Amino acid sequence: MSKIKAFDYTNAIGREFGNYVVVRELGRGAMAAVFVAYQKTLKRQVAIKLLPKALATTKVAQQQFRDEAETIAVLDHPNLITIFDSGEDDDYFFQVMQLVEGQDLAQLLKKLRRHPVPARRLLPMAHVRRLLTEVLAGLSYAHDSGVIHQDLKPANILIENRSGRSLIADFGIAKAKQAEYLARGVVVGTPIYLSPEQAIAKDTDARSDLYAVGVILFELLAGRLPIRAENAKDTVSRKIQS
């Protein structure tokens, strides 16, 4: 069991972070957990991402969390998550963001795979076209603003229930601070969606995000991933050699 899954977030429920009261947990990722919170001043629900200081034991992890908030704060687009606030207290670093009532694309794909259609395609073509058009619109805006996502994957694409709109989330390893990772030869991102140059810790640009979009498109149309490997190391090796 990973540290993030093993961490006890019980003390977060009902806790106040400034004007925000944590209500319930939404989900957990590789670095942090996301909760629904109530903003007392504006009487609305928001999303709050919490990074326990007990898990952020390195300055790199702490700075990455801060970098994400700073990166998103300068972006304003209907297909990108909006951030409202950030800070820290005795136990947590936190970010307050727009709450999207819906599910991420990874959750949707998991449900669809339980009931495969004869043609193997997971979503109707019209749905795929709209979803990726919106993702590309958000990426184009981010790229024009000098920000490369670098970890685009289904889990980072949120789909709003009411409108069906797609929004990109989790800019935790955006290119704004990429030089620091490259200097250490660190590979960041999710192996199957990484571009070949990113997989070997080389400098990247907007094309790396477009590579990830291509992998997602293949997955949506073929009903499977383009590379089948036993582990992350094997995935990267096949990606580089192909």
Kindly calculate the radius of gyration of the chain based on its CA atoms and give it in whole angstroms.
18
Phi/psi for 38 (5° steps) reads: -110, 125
Classified as helix, coil or strand, 121 is coil
Q: Which of 104, 151, 170, 209 is catalytic?
A: 151
Beta-bridge partners for 80:
168
Task: List the structure tokens of 78.
Answer: 């209907």
- Residue 85 appears among annotated catalytic residues: no
- Torsion, CA 79, CA 12, CA 109, CA 236, rounded to 10: 90
CA angle in degrees (0–180, nearest 5) for 140-190-3? 125
Classified as helix, coil or strand, 30 is coil
Which residues are tagged catalytic?
151
